């Protein structure tokens, strides 16, 4: 089992953590950004802000009126020479079993956490750790994104990082 500090400093490969210290790890990550096409899966509990994040990436705009994602949505966004295919996966309990399937062949996984939703943080942490235990996802970079940090009740990034 890896510690929270190890998870923050690196990414998983072959059941162990590859830290950011080696030039090889740096090159691996840098190559992601020179690809012409990337695929990202955005996952997290319902109402974490995954669809809003996709819309901000695609249009630069934010809307308060969001409809919960049922199943999944896919959106392609082109920025410069890079096309990003964004898989926005529903966060309701009935859709969580399909997260692994949509994360297997992606360039990276973005796990979105509502930093202001204290009631569901333990559920979110459990779902994240369940995902990290999937052998089919070994080696896929993971970003844990704390969302809604502008709310007064939101946890600090340090507290959220330690908890997750």
* pLDDT tens sequence across 12-26: 444 434 444 455 565
In a domain, 119, yes or no: yes
Please indicate if the annotation marks 91 as binding a ligand: yes
Structural domain of residue 118, as residue ranges? 36-163
Please indicate if the annotation marks 120 as binding a ligand: no
Please indicate if the annotation marks 69 as binding a ligand: yes
In a domain, 9, yes or no: no
Q: How far apart are CA 27 and CA 61, in angstroms?
A: 32
Please indicate if the annotation marks 44 as binding a ligand: yes
The per-residue pLDDT of the chain, averaged, comes to: 80
**45 touches 89 (CB < 8 A):** no
Please indicate if the annotation marks 142 as binding a ligand: no
The neighbouring-strand residues paired with 79 are: 82
Average the pLDDT over each of 80-84, 103-107, 135-139, 160-164 and give the range with the smallest value: 80-84
Q: What is the token pair recorded at 153?
A: 């009740």
In a domain, 104, yes or no: yes
In a domain, 19, yes or no: no
Please indicate if the annotation marks 148 as binding a ligand: yes
* Amino acid 51: pLDDT: 87
Count of domains in the chain? Answer: 1
Please indicate if the annotation marks 5 as binding a ligand: no
In a domain, 3, yes or no: no
Please indicate if the annotation marks 42 as binding a ligand: no
* pLDDT tens sequence across 101-139: 889 989 999 999 999 999 999 999 999 999 999 999 999
- Positive or negative CA dihedral for 74, 84, 132, 119? negative
CATH number, position 60? 3.40.50.300
Please indicate if the annotation marks 50 as binding a ligand: yes
In a domain, 5, yes or no: no
């Amino acid at each position: 089992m890896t510690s929270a500090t190890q998870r923050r400093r690196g990414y998983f490969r072959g059941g162990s953590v590859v830290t950011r210290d080696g030039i090889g790890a740096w090159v691996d990550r840098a190559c992601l950004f020179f690809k012409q096409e990337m695929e990202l899966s955005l996952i997290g509990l319902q109402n974490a802000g995954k669809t809003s994040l996709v819309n901000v990436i695609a249009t630069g705009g934010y809307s308060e009126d969001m409809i919960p994602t049922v199943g999944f949505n896919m959106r392609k966004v082109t920025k410069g020479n890079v096309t990003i295919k964004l898989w926005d996966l529903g966060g309701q309990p009935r859709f969580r079993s399909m997260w692994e399937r949509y994360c297997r062949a992606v360039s990276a996984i973005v796990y979105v956490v509502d930093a202001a939703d204290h009631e569901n943080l333990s559920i979110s942490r459990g779902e994240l750790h369940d995902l990290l235990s999937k052998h089919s996802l070994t080696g896929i970079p993971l970003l844990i994104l704390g969302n809604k940090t502008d709310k007064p009740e939101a946890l600090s990034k340090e507290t959220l990082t330690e908890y997750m």
